[in-house]
Amino acid sequence: MVKKVIKEAESNMKKSIEVVKKEFASLRAGRATPALLDKIMVNYYGTPTPVNQLANITIPEARLMVIQPWDKSAMSEIERAIMKSDLGITPASDGTVIRLAVPQLTQERRIDLMKVIKKKAEEGRVAIRNIRREANDYLKTAQKNGEISEDELKRHQDEVQKLTDKMVKNVDDILSTKEEEIMKV
């Protein structure tokens, strides 16, 4: 039963790391990536629909994204959704495709992005620590109920702490990679 709790904690910690990775992918770092459009919802026949479900998204160059809608009637709605978003990119349409030129980041924008990614990384660390706390609470309850001894409690808590340290380091590594990507001119 205790091993199951530790495995579940590890699984939940990995999910928290995946959330951090997705959040980082959706932030513009001066290069075009389809993940930039993940949060943009288009009003398609009255239904909010993600852009990637309405169009083919390609990256022909490092700073250019091409969106080719499957339904040409959705083009104006896709453009409108991109304009409303916080991307800060103006779409250019030629009637068949929408081009998004990703501009170079200014130093000011880089500093703002650094603050945002540090906040998201800290949210990931907090989520991991909360999972650790829940696992430790369960272990303490199991010890009080006589399911495990005090020595086993200590050993399992150490195991959970090592797992937590490993996962927090993983978040820190992801953060440092994204920081380098943002600060690269």
Domain boundary among 85, 101, 117: 101
Number of domains within the chain: 2
What residue numbers bound the domain in which 44 lies?
Answer: 34-101
Residue 29 pLDDT: 65
| pTM across the whole model | 0.71
Yes or no: say if 64 and 33 are a contact pair by the CB < 8 Å rule. Answer: no
Domain boundary among 75, 101, 127: 101
Dmax (CA) of the chain: 71
Residue 34 pLDDT: 80
For the chain of 185 residues, list the mean pLDDT of each consecutive stretch of 10: 87 92 75 78 87 87 87 86 81 87 80 87 94 93 89 91 94 89 74
C-alpha distance from residue 167 to each of 34, 47, 99 (Å): 27, 38, 38
- Read off the CATH number of the domain in which 94 is found: 3.30.1360.40
Same domain for 75 and 59, yes or no, is yes
Domain boundary among 83, 101, 119: 101
